[in-house]
Chain A
Amino acid sequence: LAKTTQPISMDSYEGQEVNITCSHNNIATNDYITWYQQFPSQGPRFIIQGYKTKVTNEVASLFIPADRKSSTLSLPRVSLSDTAVYYCLVGGRDNYGQNFVFGPGTRLSALP
């Protein structure tokens, strides 16, 4: 089962690009990687999802190297409203069935 690790916290100035990396060394062949944003006392909100290489949408990019043992969420121009906790989720089927493993979360503080 994939175990995920993330940096506990990061700071970034407004307007800068920020990259948050998640390590998932035991990722299984069928697992996809999904990133969520969570504000205090709210449910996680979907940001982006990928399997390999690069995925981009209107708010973020996701980079996944060929070995898929890590993934990097990139927010191109941070604003104060991006201050939140960011989680990676690795989910899929393993030898024991289906499971969903969230990383510990990275608390991003956007600074003016």
Chain B
Amino acid sequence: DSGVTQTPKHLITATGQRVTLRCSPRSGDLSVYWYQQSLDQGLQFLIQYYNGEERAKGNILERFSAQQFPDLHSELNLSSLELGDSALYFCASSVGSGAGTDTQYFGPGTRLTVL
């Protein structure tokens, strides 16, 4: 158990809908990262927040957005969902800002199925 929690575990929804995924980082960690893992794309970095501020942006679609709240938990919002958005979404957290030896610890993931 990494100490990172994600809810819900599974989510089934329809195309065009909007969903919110939630992540609570390990105690003391200031950074939260979001990754998407689909069968044909591997693990793709989406976005990182550090102490409430956006720190890095990867291959995140404009339909997706995230935020980190004052208590450091984070939410990933996915809107206008398409079939291709079906994937495992992982959250990771780390103590620092992500540079150097700052190690990311991953949560168990949320499996999103878009029908």
Contacts and interface: CB of A to CB of B under 8 A. Distances in A.
Main secondary structure of the interface of A (DSSP, over half): strand
Interface of A: 30, 32, 34, 36, 41-46, 49, 51, 87, 89, 91-93, 97-105
Interface stretch (B12-20, B40-48, B64-72, B79-87): B40-48
28 contacts: A30-B99, A30-B100, A32-B101, A34-B103, A36-B106, A41-B88, A43-B4, A43-B106, A43-B108, A43-B109, A44-B43, A44-B106, A45-B2, A46-B103, A46-B104, A46-B105, A49-B101, A49-B103, A51-B101, A92-B99, A92-B100, A93-B99, A97-B56, A98-B55, A99-B56, A100-B45, A100-B98, A102-B45
B2 A32 contact: no
Interface of B: 2, 4, 33, 35, 42-45, 48, 55-58, 88, 90, 92, 98-101, 103-109, 111
Nearest to A46: B103
A102 B42 contact: yes
Nearest to A98: B56
Given A43-B109, A93-B99, A101 B45 contact: yes
